[in-house]
Chain A
């Protein structure tokens, strides 16, 4: 059984080493780190931790990095692919409950949901995520409790069949569309979010401005 953990990073040199150590400490040693054209030492740091480090020479966005990692996992014949943010906001302890429905119940996609753990989420983020969920439902017809979560698990079938051209943050919503279009089985499990100083302060996170840009891209994709 090969469980591949895909970690997209963009300028996360400060934390990526610790993230890799934490994931490995939970028993997952097939780790794929995709550096999305970082200007810092993210790639070198990741490669030094004995993982499969892949470098996109140009910054293409989180979606492009995740898609690259999933393709690499497919080349490794991974049975389960887990996507895990590289900024340290995900808890590796959540991986086990995340992959269990795939291993035991033949579920295709498991979505980690921060909103099922509401007490941990700041109110403003809860509102923003609810709006994101509503827009995703409006555009793609599938209502989920956390359409923007990066912590997800895919069966081999789902990892092979899901295909989207989205490069940026709208990738997460497009995966929801792919679940509906391909009639994949999915479930949601509550996950923890570690709101560290690093993850809260990074300039390229999915904040208000990026949220508006993501919405604009989704609207544009509807008419273009």
Chain B
């Protein structure tokens, strides 16, 4: 069996993505669920499957009713575009989360003195109430 470069690249990238998914799930990081892990394994595992067994696309083609086989170059192009979009969207989402975090910290810092004053006021009020009840 001849092994092509694109197969190694796709299997390599898919393996890294699946490893990261399993690692994040195992470490129980925020946002990691069983369903997310399954979907991730299906998407990236599916890519590896098509890369390692290109003939599988013939089976798929028959099942979905497409007559022609996928051209390897076109498939590679689609995969690359998919990967690029995937990484770009992931990066944008990460940036969005960072903006939210910075905005939140800035807002809480700005309100810090008022929060602290209110906290002390509420504490005094609570102690007064408990004292009267005691």
- B94-124 Cβ-contact flags toward A at 8 Å (1 or 0): 0011011001101110110011001100110
A30 interface residue (CB < 8 Å to B): yes
Q: Is the CB of B104 within 8 A of A67?
A: yes
Task: Out of B33, B40, B97, name the residue touching A165 (CB < 8 Å).
Answer: B97
Would A165 and B108 be within 8 Å (CB), given that A60-B100, A64-B103 are in contact? no
Chain A hits for B114, CB < 8 A: 52
Residues in B with CB closer than 8 Å to A68 are 104, 107-108
Is the pair A54, B30 in contact by a Cβ cutoff of 8 Å? no
Could you tell me the distance in whole angstroms from the C-beta of A141 to the nearest C-beta in chain B? 7
* A44 CB, nearest partner CB in chain B, Å: 15
Contact of A56 with B31 in the complex, beta carbons under 8 Å: no
Assess whether B86 is interfacial by the CB under 8 Å rule.
Answer: yes
> Counting CB contacts under 8 A, is A124 at the interface?
no
The secondary structure that dominates the B interface is helix
CB pair B36–A77 under 8 Å, yes or no, is no
- Please determine whether B90 and A224 come into contact, CB atoms closer than 8 angstroms: yes
B93 with A71: CB separation less than 8 A: no
The stretch of A109-117, A152-160, A215-223 in contact with B is A215-223
Residue of A nearest to B119 (CB): A76
Instruction: Give the size range of A's interface with the partner.
Output: 35 or more
B93 to chain A: closest residue by CB: A224
* Contact residues in A for B61 (Cβ distance below 8 Å): none
- Are A177's CB and B33's CB within 8 A? yes
B100 and A54 contact, CB distance less than 8 A: no
Q: Does B89 contact A (CB under 8 A)?
A: yes
Nearest CB in chain B: distance from A51 CB, A = 10
**Which residues of A are found within 8 Å of B8, using beta-carbon distances?**
none
Complex Cα–Cα for A220 and B39 (A): 10
Q: Among A2, A72, A139, which residue has its beta carbon within 8 angstroms of that of B115?
A: A72
| C-alpha spacing A220/B92, complex, angstroms | 12
User: Using Cβ atoms and an 8 Å threshold, which residues of chain A touch B107?
Assistant: 34, 54-57, 68
A77 nearest CB across to chain B (Å) = 6
Q: Which of B33, B43, B93 makes the CB contact (< 8 A) with A139? A: B33
Instruction: Indicate whether B69 reaches chain A with its CB closer than 8 angstroms.
Output: no
CA of A181 to CA of B115, assembled, Å: 31
Contacts of A52 in B (CB 8 A): 111, 114-115, 118
Using CB atoms, name the residue of chain A closest to B102. Answer: A58
The reply to whether A56 and B93 form a contact with Cβ atoms under 8 Å apart is no
CB-contacts of B19-64 with A (<8 A): 28, 30-31, 33-36, 39-40, 43
Q: Are A77 and B39 in contact (CB under 8 A)?
A: no
Is the CB of A163 closer than 8 A to any CB of chain B?
A: yes
Interface, chain A (partner B; CB < 8 A): 1-2, 30, 34, 37, 52-58, 60-61, 64, 67-68, 71-72, 75-77, 138-141, 163-165, 167, 174, 177, 181, 220-224
Nearest first, the 8 A-B pairs at minimum CB distance are A60-B100, A222-B36, A222-B39, A64-B100, A54-B111, A68-B104, A76-B119, A167-B100
